């Protein structure tokens, strides 16, 4: 299997090369040259999730340096559950927040870190530099996955004042090889700085550079896996194809659903729930792609005005009509998010984080049956928003509590590459 750039001006590479490169040389995002096809009976749903993941990912790593290590990588990365919980009303909740940082980003981050660890050259003196821009949950997952991993130094960039307090604590509770940077700007500024780093010749001087954002194919492929498995389980348990309602910011999680569908898994359609950052819903309504400056919202991890992964979606569906046939999108404002959270315990018997609340609202607008709502983060990460709305405290998962108890370390920088480079090189 080879991977090519969405922009078509870079050579085809193996999975390992694509993961290490992060961004293609022409500035595009790596995508598979083809998608394997699976039939409904191809998965043994009684098998543990790591084994299912290895089965689904095997064609993508065929002939790759990591092919023989895939089962071990999956066992190391996916050591937490992924429950599909019935909510009633022909709806289920796919809980993706049971990893060490209580967010779905743990799936991709831990897989990528395990891949990098397996690829590391034991004799390489300079570490691989891994950069990640985050609007909330990605950075914590990447920091946790790479913390104290030999042969890697990590720079986590997040918008200063633009994440929830507990999210910021998770982004800054690291030491050793993980360095946290509060950027004076928005998430889009953080993402711009990371992309500029890939265009700077000669930096880093040695060791190489990669990204752990969802622009990295190694982050994205594992997300297709849980959509593949969840859709198969829903069909097995209910005898019906499920549509998926996905909270969407940088659109990486939604791409996982589209790619699972492309592989033949029983994903009926995809409904993308955005917050007040309307670039994606507006494209669905008008056909005009108009990125804009991001706006701060309660669902801050989705505060993205120029979602990178739309490039992959446009590559997969070059004709707009074919995408509209299988997908839709809706923007959800903060007041509606508050109402969904406040009504969640009584209406659904659940407490939702602000991001999951956008998807719940979209589900409530859909008249067709059989939908799986993707729960992307544990509500305890957003106590300042959730608890006043439901009138009680939310229990903190033990692994999250451990992170919140650690001391913080963060460096404030301007939204320019020079400041980031200076700070990271000072740590070498």
Asked if 215 contacts 190 with a C-beta cutoff of 8 angstroms, the reply is: no
CATH number, domain containing residue 311: 3.40.50.1100
Residue 206 lies in a domain: no
Q: Which residue has the tokens 């997040």?
A: 158
What is the span of the domain harbouring residue 285?
80-104+218-397
Residue 198 lies in a domain: no
Give the burial string for 294-331 (b: 16+ CB within 10 Å, else e).
bebbbbbbbbbbbbbbbbbbebbbeeeeebeeebbbbb
Residue 407 lies in a domain: no
* Domain count within the chain: 1
Q: Which residue has the tokens 């004799």?
A: 123
pLDDT of amino acid 428: 55
**Residue 366: is it exposed, middle or buried by C-beta count within 10 angstroms (0-12/13-18/19+)?**
middle
C-alpha separations of 312 from 29, 55, 65, 258 in Å: 7, 24, 25, 10
CA torsion sign for 113, 116, 122, 128 is: negative
Q: Which residues of the chain have pLDDT under 70?
A: 121-125, 427-428
**Residue 152: is it exposed, middle or buried by C-beta count within 10 angstroms (0-12/13-18/19+)?**
buried
Residue 378 lies in a domain: yes
Residue 389 lies in a domain: yes
Q: Under the phi-then-psi rule, with left for phi > 0, alpha for psi from -120 to 50, and beta for the rest, what region is 127? A: beta
pLDDT of amino acid 29: 96
pLDDT in tens, 285-322: 999 999 999 899 999 989 999 999 999 999 999 999 99
Whole-angstrom Cα distance, residue 212 to residue 215?
7
pLDDT in tens, 364-408: 999 999 999 999 999 999 999 999 999 999 999 999 999 999 999
Give the burial string for 220-236 (b: 16+ CB within 10 Å, else e).
bbbbbbbbbbbbbbbbe
C-alpha separations of 211 from 76, 134, 145, 157, 407 in Å: 20, 11, 13, 12, 26
| pTM confidence score | 0.93
Residue 384 lies in a domain: yes
pLDDT of amino acid 243: 98
Q: What percentage of the chain's residues is helix, strand, coil (to nearest 5)?
A: 45, 15, 40
> What order of strands is seen across the sheet that includes strand 152-159?
209-211, 128-133, 152-159, 178-184, 411-414
């Amino acid at each position: 299997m080879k991977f090519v750039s969405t922009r078509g001006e870079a050579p085809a590479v193996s999975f390992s090369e694509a993961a290490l490169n992060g961004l293609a040389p022409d500035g595009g995002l790596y995508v598979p040259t083809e998608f394997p096809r699976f039939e409904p009976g191809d998965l043994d749903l009684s098998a543990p999730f790591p084994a299912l993941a290895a089965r689904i990912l095997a064609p993508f790593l065929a002939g790759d340096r990591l092919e023989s290590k895939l089962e071990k990588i999956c066992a190391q990365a996916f050591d937490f559950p992924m429950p599909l919980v019935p909510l009633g009303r022909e709806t289920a909740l796919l809980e993706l927040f049971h990893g060490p940082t209580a967010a779905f980003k743990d799936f991709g981050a831990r897989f990528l870190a395990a891949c990098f660890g397996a690829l590391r050259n034991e004799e390489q003196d300079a570490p691989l530099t891994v950069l990640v821009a985050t609007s909330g949950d990605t950075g914590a997952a990447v920091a946790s996955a790479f913390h104290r991993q030999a042969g890697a130094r990590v720079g986590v960039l997040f918008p200063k004042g633009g994440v929830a307090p507990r999210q910021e604590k998770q982004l800054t509770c690291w030491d050793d090889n993980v360095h946290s940077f509060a950027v004076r700007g928005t998430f889009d500024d953080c993402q711009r700085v990371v992309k500029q780093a890939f265009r700077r010749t000669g930096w880093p001087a040695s060791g190489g550079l990669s990204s752990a954002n969802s622009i990295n194919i190694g982050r994205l492929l594992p997300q297709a896996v849980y959509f593949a498995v969840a859709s198969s389980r829903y069909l097995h348990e209910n005898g019906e194809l499920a549509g998926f309602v996905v909270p969407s910011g940088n659109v990486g999680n939604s791409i996982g659903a589209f790619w699972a569908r492309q592989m033949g898994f029983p994903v009926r359609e995809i409904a993308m729930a955005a917050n007040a950052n309307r670039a994606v819903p507006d494209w669905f309504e008008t056909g005009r792609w108009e990125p804009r400056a991001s706006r701060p919202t309660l669902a801050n991890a989705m505060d993205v005005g120029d979602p990178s992964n739309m490039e992959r979606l446009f590559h997969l569906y070059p004709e707009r009509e074919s995408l509209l046939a299988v997908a839709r999108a809706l923007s959800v404002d903060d007041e509606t998010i508050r109402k969904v959270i406040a009504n969640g315990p009584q209406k659904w018997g659940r407490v939702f984080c602000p991001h999951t609340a956008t998807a719940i609202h979209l589900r409530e607008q859909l008249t067709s049956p059989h939908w799986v709502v993707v729960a992307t983060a544990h509500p305890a990460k957003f106590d300042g928003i959730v608890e006043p709305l439901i009138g009680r405290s939310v229990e903190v998962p033990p692994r999250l509590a451990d992170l919140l108890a650690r001391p913080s370390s963060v460096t404030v920088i301007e939204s320019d590459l020079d400041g980031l480079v200076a700070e990271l090189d000072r740590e070498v």
